[in-house]
Amino acid sequence: MELRHLEVFVTVAREQNVTKAAAVLDLTPSPVSRTVRELERELGKVLFERRYHELVMTRAAEEILPTALEMLRLAGVVRDEEPKPLRLGSTPWAAQRFADRLRRAAAEVQTQFEIDEAMSSELIRRLQFGELDLALVHLPLDVPGIKCRVVAEYRHYLAGYPLPDRNRQDRPVLVLPAVLNADATERMVRHLTEAGHRRVGQIEFAELVTVQSRLRRTGELLVIPKAKDTATGALLDLDELEFTELDDHGERMQLGVAWRATDASKTGCLTTLADTLAPPGRAPAVV
């Protein structure tokens, strides 16, 4: 196996398309496809599920990816490539206190760092491909080569305008868009349905801008945390709303710190950051 095999594998995995990967590598598609087949033959494993105009990594490929990235990183070090600053990420849907804590902790362990904001799914993918070193994301997370620890749990409420003549269980309920956390949204919808709420729907992402007037107009309820330093706290005037805490049966949405476990050059720094955000042995914060 040669480094070129690993470089082609990582690029195809990232681009999910042979033609796009070839363009990135300044090659034609034929040698890229051939290199992938050679690697699969050598490893004795199928690395990609072939779909229409798309290649999706198999679990075997996901397990190989962290080692491939680390080998390419080490090769880069040997070639004296300039070291990069610490690359961090945070979902804008995390409570602001945790993003602020990340920034302070990063400044203490390393003078040079960058923090990007994106949805959790995007941040996790960038961690997977070595484009980020550590990020605050919403859980769950099951990606080879990525460690995670719970930072906080969200206590959720049914929020809406008071309607004295209507039972809350009879009012339509809205949950936040699945794009924020598909697994958590699915669990929440199931929990609400089992609790007897007959009309449960998902609000569209673009509709969040006008959700307060919608709640006032329709009498619908929105499932959100009560904390004001969250994204929903910034979008809504929480003081106008009435809150009823949900019995979540211990299945709370979780915010976690996730970091790359295979980059030996940054292990100590990343572990220190993780320990600061989620001290070992301490129960997660509740938002």
State pLDDT tens for residues 59-104: 999 988 888 888 887 776 545 456 678 999 999 989 999 999 999 9
For residue 57, the cross-strand partners are 48
The answer, yes or no, to whether residue 238 has pLDDT greater than 90, is yes
C-alpha 93/C-alpha 136 separation (Å) is 10
54 falls in which pLDDT band (50, 70, 90)? confident
Mind listing the domains of the chain with CATH numbers?
3-78 (1.10.10.10), 86-152+253-286 (3.40.190.10), 156-245 (3.40.190)
Q: What's residue 268's pLDDT?
A: 87
Query: Closest Cα to residue 51, out of 79, 17, 93, 92?
Result: 17
Q: What's residue 81's pLDDT?
A: 56
4 falls in which pLDDT band (50, 70, 90)? confident
Q: What's residue 194's pLDDT?
A: 86
Place of tokens 């868009």: 177
User: 99 is written with which tokens?
Assistant: 């993003």
Backbone angles phi, psi at 203, to 5 degrees: -80, 145
Strands 242-245 and 156-160: antiparallel
pLDDT digits (tens, 9 = 90+) for 196-218: 888 999 998 888 889 999 999 99
User: What is the pTM assigned to this prediction?
Assistant: 0.81
pLDDT digits (tens, 9 = 90+) for 103-116: 999 998 877 899 99
Q: What's residue 134's pLDDT?
A: 96
Asked if residue 148 lies in contact with residue 197, where contact means CB atoms within 8 angstroms, the answer is no
User: 286 is written with which tokens?
Assistant: 């509740």
C-alpha 174/C-alpha 82 separation (Å) is 49
- Write the burial class of residue 17 (CB in 10 Å: 0-12 exposed, 13-18 middle, 19+ buried): middle
Q: What's residue 282's pLDDT?
A: 92
C-alpha 126/C-alpha 159 separation (Å) is 34
Q: What's residue 82's pLDDT?
A: 62
